[in-house]
Amino acid sequence: MDKSKIIQAPKGTFDILPTEQKYWEKVRRVVALVGAQYGFERIDTPIFEGTDLFERSVGQETDIVEKQMYTFKTKGKDSLTLRPEGTASVVRSYIENGLNSWPQPVRLYYVGPMFRYEQPQSERYRQFHQFGFELIGDSHPIYDAWLINIALVALRELGLHKTVVAINSIGDAKCRPVYRKALVAYYKNKVGQLCEDCKRRYKTNPLRLLDCKEHHCSEVAAKAPNLVDHLCEECRNHFKSVLEYLDEQKISYMLNPHLVRGLDYYTKTVFQLYAEESLEILSGNSNSHKNPLELGGGGRYDMLAQQLGGKNTPALGFAMGIERIISLMRKNNIKVSELKKPEVFLVQLGELGRKKSLTLFEKLREGGIDVVESFGRDNIKSQLRAADKIKVRYAVIVGQKEALEEAAIIREMTSGTQETIPFDKIVNELKKRLRQAPPVSS
């Protein structure tokens, strides 16, 4: 095999093989279940959008827009971008489809792939998947705390009970400029030590300085003034209420005064959820330079609808990284049931048996029996070995003789006992047997 000629999946992407699908199916099932329980309905938006949607929402000065977007020109010269996240599209859809005429708040959830041109590393991909919940049309702080609860419930339903919530408030259009001034003053004689991106952002969008992942920049950011100390009365009260509603739900959290998140559309509450193993890193008790494992994040984005040309509409939401969740489920040995457990293996012998097994397969399928075929094989031993391997309870064997009689042999795999049954009785007979508890194997 000439390895140089083998085409590989693009860097930062991967295949989800059949053996992995049970985890993905479990996540989708839990998201749909939790969504329904909390009154959220599914929305699907296009995988690509006009580039300006993300420039105007996520923000020109963010890592995502500056460095990570898959942007391309169409033949019609439109600039399109593979969506790097889901919130902007959901709000675009809310405005475009007049969802403000629905009973408010509108509650929507989504599941799907997102694309960011990142340096691939552990748990960081270029195509990854999120599920997200958005609640549009209400400003009450109870929803901020409720949504955090929903995120935690979803994780618990997936077997992840130990997670850490970090929370902060980044204020609004009234108080952010005040904080911005304090931040600029703090950085004034430190700009020279920062990375090139931060030097630029110092002038254009200083809040982003708190978000830089460069080691030295984050050390400088750690000593920067706190946002919460500069909140206006409205934002302070809002944040206080969010924390009280969290207490009411017995949700513990870490206040992180430097949490700003990497997207520009947030106002007031922002939060992130981490795997418990990241607690040491988060509380500064670890010497490791590893980043904590962020499972998800979100917050309020009260200005976004207006920024995108809609009415003034308060809103909030969160999104979780599915790859990271599944990787944690596997690490914690969380059991997930197989998608399909075949019950019957169809064995055929000779050409006539093969032909008849086509019709018999359909009969069994229509009868609701999970059946596996091996049409291409001839040898009975190898077929029974294959049946044994996937641990079916019964093999149904159509040999030359049985085929002529329009019948098949039902073989109980553990005991080896066999009985010939006519085709037209076989579904009922198998159903009857499958309903009975399997014999205890010695």
Chain residues that interact with ligand HAM, rule: CB under 6 A: 85-87, 116, 118, 123-125, 128, 130, 132, 134, 262-263, 294-299, 317-321, 323-324
As a residue count, the chain comes to 442
Nearest to 141 by CA among 244, 263, 259, 232: 244
Write down the least CB distance from residue 86 to ligand HAM, Å. Answer: 6
Q: Where are the alpha helices (DSSP H) in 124-211?
A: 141-157, 176-187, 196-204
Nearest distance, CB of residue 133 and ligand HAM, angstroms: 7
Tokens for 137?
């049309």
Q: Which residues contact 303 (CB under 8 A, 6 or more apart)?
A: 172, 173, 265, 267
Q: Rounded to an integer, what distance in angstroms lies between the CA atom of residue 87 and that of residue 112? A: 12
Nearest to 190 by CA among 208, 215, 209: 209
111/344 with CB nearer ligand HAM: 111
Shortest approach of ligand HAM to residue 164 CB, angstroms? Answer: 13
373's CB contacts (< 8 A; 6+ apart) are 346, 357, 361
Name the minimum Å distance from CB 148 to ligand HAM. 12
Cα–Cα distance measured from residue 218 to residue 202, given in angstroms and rounded to the nearest whole number: 14
Closer to ligand HAM by CB, 146 or 423: give it.
146
CA distances from 75 to 78, 118, 182, 401 (A): 8, 26, 47, 63
Minimum gap (Å) between residue 295 Cβ and ligand HAM: 5
CB closer to ligand HAM out of 220 and 319? 319
Q: How far is the CB of 374 from ligand HAM (least distance, A)?
A: 39
CB of 40 to ligand HAM, least distance (A): 12
Any residues with CB less than 8 A from the CB of 393 and at least 6 apart, and which?
343, 344, 412, 413, 414, 433, 434, 438
* Comparison of 118 and 214: residue with beta carbon closer to ligand HAM: 118
**Buried b or exposed e, range 255-294, using 16+ CB within 10 angstroms:** ebebbbbbbbbbbbbbbbbbbeebbebbeeeeeeeeebbb
Closer CB to ligand HAM, 83 or 411, in the complex: 83
The distance of closest approach from Cβ of residue 119 to ligand HAM in the complex, given in angstroms and rounded to an integer, is: 9
Task: Indicate the residue among 109 and 179 with the shorter CB distance to ligand HAM.
Answer: 109
CB of 12 to ligand HAM, least distance (A): 8
The residue at minimum Cβ distance from ligand HAM is: 321
Angle at 380 between CA 376 and CA 383, to 5 degrees: 60
Phi, psi (deg, nearest 5) at residue 247: -60, -45
Angle between helices 322-331 and 21-37 (to 10 degrees): 110
CB of 25 to ligand HAM, least distance (A): 19
In the complex with ligand HAM, the residue whose CB is nearer, 245 or 345, is 245
- Token pair 């599941």 is at which residue? 111
Q: CB under 8 Å to 185, separation ≥6 — which residues?
A: none
67 or 365: CB nearest ligand HAM:
67
CB of 130 to ligand HAM, least distance (A): 5
What is the DSSP code (8-state) at residue 194?
Answer: S
For the CB of residue 139, give the shortest distance to ligand HAM in the complex, in Å. 15
* DSSP characters over 337-359: --S----EEEEE-HHHHHHHHHH
Instruction: Give the pairing of strands 267-275 and 294-300.
Output: antiparallel
Query: Of the two residues 71 and 374, which places its CB atom closer to ligand HAM in the complex?
Result: 71
Smaller CB separation from ligand HAM, 125 or 187: 125
C-beta closer to ligand HAM: residue 151 or 408: 151
CA distance 281 to 380: 58
Give the integer Cα–Cα distance in Å for 388 and 385.
5
Nearer to ligand HAM by C-beta: 169 or 348? 169
